[in-house]
Structure 1
Amino acid sequence: MKKILLMLALTLGTISYSQEVEFTFTTDGLTDYVITQCEGKTESEIYKKCIEWIKINYNNPNEVILSTIEDKFIRFQGSGGSGLVKYYRHGGIFTPDSRYIIELSIKEGKYKFDLINLETYSGTVWHEADCFFSRNKNCYNSKGEFKKDYKFYNEISDYFNKINLSLKEKVLGSDEKW
């Protein structure tokens, strides 16, 4: 009986602490965040590599970095330009300018990649991208698939998975000596 209870406790513990490793879209919206494992890396190493990655990949790193707490946290803003968010409207593809905010929370051996905001520009004002945070059920058909207007939304998760993969490669990579 003790063995059964122990196995049950271990199984439930594993299930309750499972973490997303990739962004995906469901009828609840985009995955809230992903956890990226960086075995053998300290908080300081991860933090420094994340800052280096931002400085390499963004044109104005001092402007896109919104907030930092050394070795613990980085918040930065990026631009997806026109093409990150696509809508199918009136027989064609509409690609508004877009911008996003990502928070990186750093712990020993891992970081949390949290996409906290995604906005599109309507020509006069920035507003939250449809179906993204609001979990707008009007974006989906009865089968739980995106309606025609939003059929490109799965590309958004691919976009942020590629960003996170690039960041992970920087964090895990060794510094090359010239």
Structure 2
Amino acid sequence: MRYGGIGGAMTKPIKFQIEISFKDDKYKFEIAELQEENYMFPQFSRRPFMALDLSKNNEGVRKSNGQFRSRYRYADDLVVYFNFLNSKLKDYITNTNQTDDNW
């Protein structure tokens, strides 16, 4: 994920876990867990990653008007990434011309 920094943007690692469920010829693509690098690791924390909650009611991530705070202003890039990932999965699932059964 990109973060705003002096003179430009920096990238920091994130970890995510997705869940894909199938039912009645449909699938559900859901982000089960999202974590960002823990800036306090290792000096003040034992965990290298911490939960990332981008919900609208998280005051640490969003302002009172609902916009992301400056540190998280690139969080919308995650939406673009996961939508792209979902579309690629859909393309793979719906492709009927698959000839290679070896992953």
Q: Per the shorter chain, which TM-score range?
A: 0.7 to 0.9
Q: TM-score, normalised by structure 2?
A: 0.73
Q: CA deviation at 1:176?
A: 3.8
Q: Which has the higher helix share?
A: 1
* Contact persistence 1:118–1:132 (CA under 8 A): no
Partner of 2:58: 136
Counterpart CA distance in 2 for 1:159 and 1:112 is 17
For the 8 Å contact 1:104–1:113, the answer to whether it is kept is yes
Displacement of 1:112 in angstroms is 1.1
TM-superposed CA distance for 1:99, in Å, is 1.3
Q: What CA distance in whole angstroms lies between the structure 2 residues aligned with 1:98 and 1:146?
A: 17
Structure 2 Cα separation of the partners of residues 108 and 149 of structure 1:
41
How many residue pairs are counted as aligned between the two chains?
Answer: 93
Q: Which of these two proteins has the greater Rg computed from alpha carbons?
A: 1
After superposition, the CA RMSD in angstroms is: 2.4
Q: Distance in 2 between matches of 1:114 and 1:177?
A: 28
Residue 115 in 1 paired to residue 38 in 2?
no
1:102 to partner: Cα distance = 0.6
TM-score of the aligned structures, taking structure 1 as reference length: 0.45
The equivalent residue for 1:126 is: 49
2:74 to 141, 144, 152: 152
Contact kept, 8 Å, 2:56 with 2:62, in 1: the verdict is no
Report 1 or 2 for greater relative contact order, CA contacts < 8 Å, sequence distance ≥ 6. 1
Task: Calculate percent identity across the aligned residue pairs.
Answer: 26
Residue 161, structure 1, aligned to residue 83, structure 2? yes
Q: Which runs of 5+ in 1 are unaligned?
A: 1-84
> Post-superposition shift, 1:128?
1.3
Hey, what's the Cα distance between the residues in 1 that align with 2:28 and 2:99?
29
Residues 173 and 115 of structure 1: CA distance in aligned 2, closer, same or farther (over 3 Å) = same
Q: Shift in Å at residue 138 of structure 1? A: 3.1
Residue 18 (structure 2) aligned to one of 102, 105, 129: 102
| Comparing 116-125 and 168-177, the one that deviates more | 116-125
Cross-structure match for 2:45 = none
The offset of 1:136, in angstroms, is 1.4
**2-structure distance, mates of 1:176, 1:104:** 20
DSSP-derived class of the 2:93 partner:
helix
Judge conservation of contact 1:97–1:120 (CA < 8 Å) in 2. yes
Alpha-carbon distance change, 167 to 103 in structure 1, aligned in 2, over 3 angstroms? same
